[in-house]
Structure 1
Amino acid sequence: MKNPDLTASAAGHLMIGGVDTVELAQQFGTPLVVYDVAAIRHQIQAFRDSLVANGLRYQISYASKAFATVAMYQLVNQTGIHTDVVSGGELYTALQAGLPAERISFHGNNKSRAELEMAVDHHIGVIILDNFYEIQLLHEILLEKNTNVDVMLRLTPGISAHTHKYIQTGQVDSKFGFDVDSGQADQAVQAVLNIEQMHLIGIHAHIGSQIFGPEGFELLVNKLVDIAADWRAKFHYVPQILNLGGGFGIRYTQADHPLGPETFIDDIAAALKKRVAQRQLELPEIWIEPGRSIVGPAGYNLYTVGARKDIPELTSYVAVDGGMGDNIRPALYQAKYEAVCANHLNAPTVEPVHLAGKYCESGDILIDQAALPAVVPGDLVAVLATGAYGYSMASNYNRNPRPAVVFVENGQAKCVVQRESYADLTRLDQPYL
């Protein structure tokens, strides 16, 4: 067996949440996205336990851009944590799921007037301001509606995680947030403190994604605490909340060695307590925004094997019935995954193959060198750890319907997103002639 965390049935089939993947494929078809709900719950609880053990006041806010559906927001609601959204569509979905508005944060670097009005009208918990235009726009809306709102300021602290350049967000040269070193952050805090309708509850920063070491978070804690102390001296204002963002790494391949939530949180707490003591500040409330680390390891993409192309002295191509339309990450920024033959989980691997998708692009390769048994047409392949940014970035490229999504828990499977039909593809089309 390739991955010791995987479970096989007596028939040698991959099991997820007590459910046979072969049966899932037969019942729901492929390509299919499957989530192990217990794994999601376990990860949320691991973050919660670590924060409590360190004596911190805290909020866990699920970064829903990783995977946002009604069912996922319902699960978030059931666990009692917060969520953050980055669009009107995510906000609408969260509200449709019954998630209390006060447990929603609104991110984004270019929120529209309509989106901000929607957030204000529903009295969401906090709007995280990203730029000066947004401060002005939100102020106008609050005056028009004669109301107020809690806000945070997103800062770019000049700290970048060692990740792909597309998922670094804390460095100075970023589209996100108010730059600290240039003085933009100081200008922003003065502007917001002078607006009666905005209640500035804290500051936020996010240094990147798929982070494997705590050092970046320790630097971020020190930087934000120093900013808080600086603002106390300059503006007689101390943030109540330090929102450290997310980006906690997960295992995609054997080359990845992620830390557990407790290690990240222990290091963050130690750095925080030391720095606030040095700067003579009270211990603030800490918010974190895990997304990938909550849903990523819990997700699996199931595919049926189709065509095979063998080229003498070169790596063979094995094609499946999905691809970049349901997981764009390998084509977008060379994300790495592992796969197993789900209907022969214990079969020995015999060759590396290019695990290719069915889309009309040469770059539609899910895994460049996938170690698999000798699969044949009709076999079931499971790509592991696909729960983050797979379905949420899915498309209808080549007019392929998006897959169904199934939640499994305690041996039970429930379809939470129906598979799109061909009719769905033309539902919004309008005739020209």
Structure 2
Amino acid sequence: MCGSAKLPCSGRGACPRGSPGRKRSRPSRGRRRPKGGSGGGDGGGVPQCERVLPGPSSHLRLAQEVAPPTPKGKRGRRAWKRCSSRSSPVFTSTTAAQLDPQGFLSGLQGRVVLDEVQRAPGLFLPLKALVDRDRRPGRFLLTGSANVLALPRAAEHLVGRMALFTLWPLSQGELEGRKEGFLSALFAEEVPPVQGEGRWPLERLLRGGYPEAVRLPPERRGAWFRDYLATVLAREVRELSQVERLGELPRLYALLATRPAQLLNWAELSRASSLPATTLKRYFALLEALYLVRTLPPWQANLGKRLTKSPKVLPTDPGLALHAAGLDGARLEGDPILLGKYLEAFVAMEVVKQAGYAGVAVEVFHYRSHSGEEVDLVLEGPGGKVVGVEVKARGSLRPEDLRGLKSLAQALGPRFHRGVVLYLGRETVPFAKDLYALPLEALWRL
């Protein structure tokens, strides 16, 4: 039940691990950092391997299948070596853990990694007792491809006793061997200029961020995505819940994959999926627990306007979503509107990943009023400062592309720090005070 993860690996980034499966919850785990965690730095970093475990136990929720290649750059290689050299005992006996959880844990010494911990939920109560007796940080690293907090009683046993991290699929910065400073730059006094490539990011969307899919040639990715979905939606679901109509889950995911970055409308989804609302909500929660989808909450503020209260739904990996939706590069190239929706979801997930380890504490929302004013991403940072981010799948911009950002700036007054449009052009262009157009590449090159 345990993989070959090493301690202390708890930030976001490429932690070495040998067992397949996406790890989702953890008493010290994955891609999500506590607010205010350190970030930034020189290129070649491995953010997930550079964090120190803050408590006796941590749970890594892994949204990746296997470990990525050794990172580039001296700093990245040093971080990788630090993680790889601090080994913890790795155990493979799921049966022993299930039959005698107390005895299994009492026989372990030193730092311990429990992989796919959701398969042995009986461990949580004796683990609670062990942690209460010895509060030294970093004793247990729990990894799993499903969110353990979705398991009955797991949350009540471990509340206040574990730090949670989520390892999302690899970010663009990780794939290029650099640590992104995009969010820090947005909240800085000045935004440094960035030179873009002026190309559609089709390959970045199609390959996604699962390390194994990234390694494969394009002609073999489809088979990997198909097998991965089949495995996750068959094996992992049974560990979380009893599902009567297991075949509906792949169909629901495919349906959601065709609606990237759209508002969550239960009534419309119920009609489209032919699922009763109660069943639909339960199945959606399972897809969230498996880290296949994520909701982006609406931004709520007292602006004297009626704002949408529905979240948006984001596929966590664009490559997997495009495969499930039956879309390829040719279809995206021929439909700029469709490309724009997938690009928005792609950018939103990249920002979510970076928010887990950025040098500034940032919360990520979307903004939409009932009168139609919209901003794709609203980032709330230190001191209540707000940055708006719009995403445009075009190489040039029109005045109306800034309408949502200008409306947000007017409503917020001094709280509005900056507005940015990410587009497919080459140049950094200042439009007005605190309003900029940045090439898409700024997302991972700043």
User: Is the TM value for this pair above 0.5?
Assistant: no
**Greater Rg over alpha carbons, structure:** 1
Q: Which has the higher helix share?
A: 2
> So what's the TM-score if we normalise by structure 2?
0.28
Q: Which has the higher strand share?
A: 1
